[in-house]
Structure 1
Amino acid sequence: MFQEIAGIKIPDSRLAKDAADILREHGDDLLWNHSNRVFLFGAVNGKKAKQNYDLELLYISALFHDLGLTKKYSSADLRFEVDGANAARSFLQQYQVPDESIRLVWDAIALHTTPGVAEHKEAEVALLFSGVGLDVMGDGFEQFDDDSREEIIKAFPRNNFKQKIIPAFYEGFKHKPETTFGNMKEDIVQHFRPEYKNKNFCNCILHSPWKE
């Protein structure tokens, strides 16, 4: 395991190592590399902005943020983000982590695909969101230091990430496409199933049980 990458020390407490073991066991190389890049991108952004945040909580959040896509942690009817957040909460409760810290991790994971909200929350939530945005969509790419970016990618390679991550998302929630209603993952479902239509918000209003 690397000790320091791009000026960021990888957390090595028992809590951090156990969380990493869970991702290694139930995820794959795609999620492992992605999750670690997300952590490092977020941590570098936090360091650059001189933000006060808990590095270990950010690390746990990054490791668990996509675990809801895996068979082990995927529910039948919840958004995959919530599945990952619930898994992280159950994990942290075993270590007597303070409730406020658990809430931060839960929010960070549950909101990591919610633009317009996550970036205005606590530092750990906002930094996870920024790391996800950079790795998945290139948000903030030009503002991120080239040397740090290359060091991170060398440690945790992308390996054709752009082509692999979209089907990986779909595999994680194709059994519950209705959970993408109102969020960006609906685009993933329509990419593979153009005939599929989620509920329409206007129809929900107009066809509600109210009489007027």
Structure 2
Amino acid sequence: MTISGKTIAGIKIPDSAMASQATELLREHGSELLYNHTLRVFLFASLNGQQNNLRYDPELLYVSTMFHDLGLTVHYRSDDKRFEVDGANAARDFLRGYGVSPQSLQLVWDTIALHTSPGIAEYKEPEVALLNYGAALDVIGKGYDQLSNANREEIIKHFPRNELKKNMINTFFDGFKHKPHTTYGSINADICACMIPGFQRKDYCDLILHSPWSE
């Protein structure tokens, strides 16, 4: 199904060459679950921006959303960085090919890198806050009551949830199970604790007490 330029729940899918290419990369490297999740996140984020009369760049939000979970995939994931940073780096490299300004490159990088950082993202630029909102709504239902039944049904009709509640934890874990150390200080450590028997998270208090300082 071609989605470029399509209007769903009153939100138009960006149809520029840049947006279309970002969509194709997601189709190529992401699973069906990630693809549908990603498009729902964009629509949820855009509806929230519309409801709150926020001024933001729909195309930059769209590209950010297309890349926000690509750091979980085999093609984009590293051995030593948080998956959010892998996705942010990939998006920045992608956008450089389109001559995007340094300010916009940084905005997209922040939007992706901070999308799993509650308590920070919502106070950043609208694009950052909106992606965080859309992702949280789709994965944990934050803000669920702010979405109308009509919009919810239309979006899910186009982009089914694929039993996300059952499958998303495994999808996340598959993206960073080879580098659980990168989850320190993030919500992803909860996933490692869920999936790895006996997983020992780094403890910040322990790090303070055992620092190399002599006192």
Question: TM class, shorter-chain normalised?
Answer: over 0.9
Q: Which residue of 2 aligns with 1:54?
A: 57
Give the 4+ runs in structure 1 shifted more than 3 A. none
Q: 1:200 Cα shift?
A: 1.1
C-alpha distance in structure 2 between counterparts of 1:30 and 1:143, whole Å: 23
Say if 2:101 is the partner of 1:98.
Answer: yes
Say if 2:135 is the partner of 1:128.
Answer: no
Say if 2:67 is the partner of 1:64.
Answer: yes
**Match 1:41 to one of 23, 38, 44:** 44
Alignment of 1:24-35 (within 5 A): 24-35=27-38
C-alpha distance in structure 2 between counterparts of 1:150 and 1:211, whole Å: 61
Q: 1:198 Cα shift?
A: 2.2
Residue aligned with 2:40, SS: helix
**Match 1:158 to one of 158, 161, 172:** 161
Say if 2:19 is the partner of 1:16.
Answer: yes
C-alpha distance in structure 2 between counterparts of 1:24 and 1:99, whole Å: 27
1:57-95, Cα deviation, whole Å (9 max, x unpaired): 111111100000000000000000000000000000011
C-alpha distance in structure 2 between counterparts of 1:86 and 1:126, whole Å: 19
Alignment of 1:169-208 (within 5 A): 169-208=172-211
Q: 1:26 Cα shift?
A: 0.6
TM-score, length-scaled by structure 1 = 0.98
Structure 1: runs of 5 or more not aligned? none
C-alpha distance in structure 1 between counterparts of 2:63 and 2:156, whole Å: 20
C-alpha distance in structure 2 between counterparts of 1:90 and 1:12, whole Å: 20
Residue aligned with 1:58, SS: helix
Say if 2:92 is the partner of 1:89.
Answer: yes
Q: Which residue of 2 aligns with 1:112?
A: 115
C-alpha distance in structure 1 between counterparts of 2:30 and 2:162, whole Å: 16
- What one-letter code is carried by the residue in structure 2 that aligns with 1:193? I
- What one-letter code is carried by the residue in structure 1 that aligns with 2:75? K
Aligned-pair identity in percent equals 57
C-alpha distance in structure 2 between counterparts of 1:108 and 1:185, whole Å: 17
**Match 1:148 to one of 124, 141, 151:** 151
Q: How many residues align?
A: 212
Q: 1:116 Cα shift?
A: 0.3
Q: CA RMSD in A?
A: 0.7
Q: 1:194 Cα shift?
A: 3.1
Q: 1:189 Cα shift?
A: 0.6
C-alpha distance in structure 2 between counterparts of 1:99 and 1:149, whole Å: 36
C-alpha distance in structure 1 between counterparts of 2:61 and 2:83, whole Å: 19
Q: 1:196 Cα shift?
A: 1.2
